[in-house]
Amino acid sequence: VAALPPTVRQIAVLDRTKEPGAPGEPLYLDVVTALAEEWRRAHPQTALPAVIGGRYGLSSKEFHSGHVDAVFGELGNADPKNHFTVGIVDDVTHTSLPPKAPLPVEADSVFRGLFYGLGSDGTVGANKNSIKILGDTTDFHAQGYFVYDSKKAGAVTVSHLRFGPEPIRSTYLIEDARFVAVHQWQFLDRFDVLEHAQPGAVLLLNAPFKPEQVWDRLPRELQEGILEKELQVHAIDAYEVARELGLGRRINTIMQTAFFAISGVLPRAQALTKIKEAIRKTYGKQGEEIVRRNEAAVDRAADQIHRIDVPAQATATRRRPPLIRDGAPDFVERVTRVLMAGQGDLLPVSAFPPDGTWPSATARWEKRNLALEIPVWDPAICIQCNKCTLVCPHAAIRAKVYEPVALDGAPRTFRSVDLRSNELKGMKYTIQVAPEDCTGCTLCARVCPARDKSNPRHKALNMESQPPLRERERESFAFFLELPQTIRGSEAVRADGTRQPVRIDVKGSQLLEPLFEFSGACAGCGETPYLKLLTQLFGDRLLIANATGCSSIYGGNLPTTPYAINADGRGPAWSNSLFEDNAEFGLGFRLSLDQATGEVRELLRQSATMVGDTLTEEILASLQQDETEIRHQRERVALLRTRIQELESRGEMDRRLARRLYGLSEHLVHRSVWIVGGDGWAYDIGFGGVDHVLSLERNINLLVLDTEVYSNTGGQASKATPMGATAKFAMGGKAVGKKDLGLMAMAYGHVYVAQVALGAKDAQTVRALQEADSYPGPSLVIAYSSCIAHGYDMADSLDHQKMASESGLWPLYRFDPRRSLTGENPLQLESKTPTIPFAKFAETETRFKMLMKANPARAKELLSRADRALRGRYGLYEQLSHLHLGAADATPSAEDSGSSNGKGGASA
């Protein structure tokens, strides 16, 4: 207080916290108290200053010079607002101060650059290397802020870089950039990339066109912005350079080279030398070939940068398309669209749902256009196996069967072919890609088994450049979505007139609507195909308790949600609690469902004479053992609900009873409860809960998406990491083997256990998930999930899954205690004795190769030990599968599992 000059009349105190229930925030209260107690002593002749308090920067909201200006402006008012906020638009409690434009407070000597990249294209990493180069080798001070969301890949990243001769203390994002680099061409149609470019700035584009074509390809808004701000424009086709050098989609080195070559922050020769030094440091452990390719990219990029001639006026007729297409729900248009545009901070408080609920099925509106190439279907070769749709991580390629009459009004380029089926003769069949939602991972084309006999390189699915196909395939996909969807539990009519349920195998499952689509997971993700398959097999009956991790991030992300709804407006129910308590959280799902099911069954018995004895008996007796039975149960429940409404309206049923019975009636249909998470949860942090759930006899299912590392946090070792693999916290190679979670669960005797890998045996995966759902006790399905942390091109992930099984790392099996009822061995071993050495598999993945390069002797020792251990484990499984156990019954009964029908309803 003594340090304050006596002329102070007003003070504003800003807290970066909110204390609900307190008369003010901590720093504000400290200042008020200090002034009240000490001001008279320090300045006895002057009046006590007025103090106002405010909040800033909560949830990382921006705080820049314009906000400071707004605070000083408020202090100048005759009656300044107390307990205000800055950085938000509060139109509900009206606490916010009117925002002001940022002031030009940065020195001209500071270089300010903005870099727009795509998650996983290497832009952020390259910019961090640029900071190190300039900070470590020059007298420049450097600063970097990196803005990106929680999408695993494919998200927009914006790097804010500052370099200057003086210390940089700008704790806010760049508002007037001297250099703007756009590393992804599609961003030009989605964002105003020139919003923060200062007049006369340099614009660098990654343009997939010849230099003379670039200007004419720009949307009119961008051309007008370039002319208005008199920007210099440079372009390079970074993807072409990357393709030539075998770098795939990694354009970071190329664009970094272009930045240094154009910006002039370092002499060109010195910059190229420093970049190559950074490459060797960054990629050295990944092998000499990776280093060589990146060094070659530096030299190649330096010669491929072109200055674009800017005419005197805009010439384009094409304008930037709307971010959200017509027909979007109101919430998507009002809120989601603004978030997708990167303008979420501009949303007022009133735009957000008061109860915190967000609509699902919103990922379909995002249309990120990530794919450089998309699959094109050749119906003449296709064998209609549906493997392509099964392995697609993003539900971007789909199959449908429909009546020929549905093709009326089809676009001219829409493709269809006669269905090959003895059960559904006369039907049509189509494979269709969603061109703007496909990520270009190529898994569908890789897995396709159908080849042209005259040209074996030509398959039923072939990857082709996306831009020329976008409009055509967009129209076709829109028509495809309008085609009738296969009805869950439908029946096929045989030639003799008899009916039979449509088989839900690999082919049949992919005719069912996926209710998990277009997520923010990495291109080629190994986890999402299992989640998508769950939604196809169990539809809107599915309840998911999701552990924190990759699957909760891409599963419950904003601004869009991949879990979708069907034509009836129903979809899977999903929730996420914590990392460590997910098993207990999911158990709560099961217990509450059992309680509700038991209550509604009892209420139905009490009301049997009113709603009808026959209907009551049919509902209570339904076993719901397949989708056809479940569909019939849905029809019965719909009839029950109609009768309840009629009885209540006529006064023939007590209103409280009618409302209670009606509200609980949905629980008469079997719900499939799944506890989902990664190996970090199931093997490590949440293992205690997993073990507890498995020790019970409740009808609950666990799906472990096993990537063998903590994928979400950057690839740390877990107890699922195999011996010999390197990972964070195990860079010297993991010295002990992988925990055998499946064998531990089998030891209980009453747990259904399966270990699956979609790329190794897809039919077994589908069968295991169905058996787990039908089993009346706890089920554990452990799914091999390929991950970028393994260190290989994700386009090859299905082959790696197959090799993992062949090497003995990932034996495939199903352990079904119900088989013991007929004297069969519960364990069915479904992969062969290891046919390749484990070291042969290991040498195809960087997680093992890093140790081979850094410490060959230790790598050889660990891989040799791992091979012996894996073969020994397989031998143990083989012995267990051949044991003759005799007839026994370890299967939970309906009463034991809390189910009167074997499907999860509590006995009553």
Same domain, yes or no, for 741 and 875?
Answer: yes
CA 57, 151, 584 angle in degrees (round to 5)?
90
**pLDDT value of position 902:** 41
Which residue's entry shows tokens 């397989």? 874
Query: For residue range 837-851, what is the model confidence (pLDDT) as tens digits?
Result: 999 999 999 999 999
Residue 292 maps to which CATH number? 3.40.920.10
Q: Is residue 892 part of a domain?
A: no
Residue 58 maps to which CATH number? 3.40.50.920
Query: For residue range 508-564, what is the model confidence (pLDDT) as tens digits?
Result: 999 999 999 999 999 999 999 999 999 999 999 999 999 999 999 999 888 899 999
| 139 vs 597, residue with greater confidence | 597
Average pLDDT over the chain, rounded to an integer = 92
Confidence category of residue 12, pLDDT binned at 50, 70, 90: very high
Q: Is residue 500 part of a domain?
A: yes
Query: For residue range 16-57, what is the model confidence (pLDDT) as tens digits?
Result: 999 999 999 999 999 999 999 888 888 887 888 999 999 999
Domain final residue pick, 290, 307, 324:
307
Q: Is residue 325 part of a domain?
A: no
Find, among 583, 618, 620, 614, the residue nearest to 598 by Cα: 620
**pLDDT value of position 813:** 98
Is 271 within 8 Å of 260 (Cβ atoms)? yes
Q: Residue 195: pLDDT above 80?
A: yes
**pLDDT value of position 907:** 29
Largest pairwise CA distance in the chain? 107
Same domain, yes or no, for 634 and 724?
Answer: no
Q: Is residue 768 part of a domain?
A: yes
Is 52 within 8 Å of 82 (Cβ atoms)? yes
Residue 733 maps to which CATH number? 3.40.50.970
Least confident of 39-43, 87-91, 503-507, 514-518: 39-43
Q: Is residue 639 part of a domain?
A: yes
Task: Say what the pTM is.
Answer: 0.90
CA-to-CA separations, 410 to 398, 461, 704, in angstroms, rounded = 17, 21, 42
Least confident of 146-160, 503-517, 536-550, 887-901: 887-901
Same domain, yes or no, for 715 and 856?
Answer: yes
Same domain, yes or no, for 622 and 722?
Answer: no
Q: Is residue 553 part of a domain?
A: no
Q: Residue 620: pLDDT above 60?
A: yes
Domain final residue pick, 512, 536, 569:
512
Least confident of 146-160, 387-401, 517-531, 864-878: 146-160
Q: Residue 496: pLDDT above 70?
A: no
Same domain, yes or no, for 68 and 116?
Answer: no
Which residue's entry shows tokens 């072109």? 306
Confidence category of residue 423, pLDDT binned at 50, 70, 90: confident
Q: How many domains, in total, are found in the chain?
A: 5
Q: Is residue 464 part of a domain?
A: yes
Same domain, yes or no, for 43 and 122?
Answer: no
Is 694 within 8 Å of 778 (Cβ atoms)? yes
Query: For residue range 336-349, what is the model confidence (pLDDT) as tens digits?
Result: 999 988 889 899 99
**pLDDT value of position 650:** 94
Query: For residue range 848-889, what is the model confidence (pLDDT) as tens digits?
Result: 999 999 999 999 999 999 999 999 999 999 999 998 765 556
In this prediction, residues 284-306 reach a mean pLDDT of 88
Same domain, yes or no, for 281 and 385?
Answer: no
Same domain, yes or no, for 771 and 858?
Answer: yes
DSSP 672-733: EEEEEEEHIIIIIITHHHHHHHHHS----EEEEEE-SEETTTT-EE-TTSPTT--BBTBTT-
Domain final residue pick, 51, 85, 119:
85
Same domain, yes or no, for 405 and 290?
Answer: no
CA 408, 409, 412 angle in degrees (round to 5)?
110
Q: Residue 292: pLDDT above 60?
A: yes
Q: Is residue 315 part of a domain?
A: no
Q: Where are the alpha helices (DSSP H) in 607-654?
A: 608-611, 613-621, 627-649
**pLDDT value of position 626:** 86
Same domain, yes or no, for 663 and 697?
Answer: no
Range of the domain at 640: 595-668
Same domain, yes or no, for 60 and 19?
Answer: yes
Find, among 605, 738, 720, the residue nearest to 661 by Cα: 605
3-state secondary structure 97-134: CCCCCCCCCCCCCCEEEEEEEECCCCHHHHHHHHHHHH
Task: Estimate to the nearest angstrom the gap between the alpha carbon of 803 and the chain centroid.
Answer: 26
Same domain, yes or no, for 282 and 170?
Answer: yes
Residue 389 maps to which CATH number? 3.30.70.20
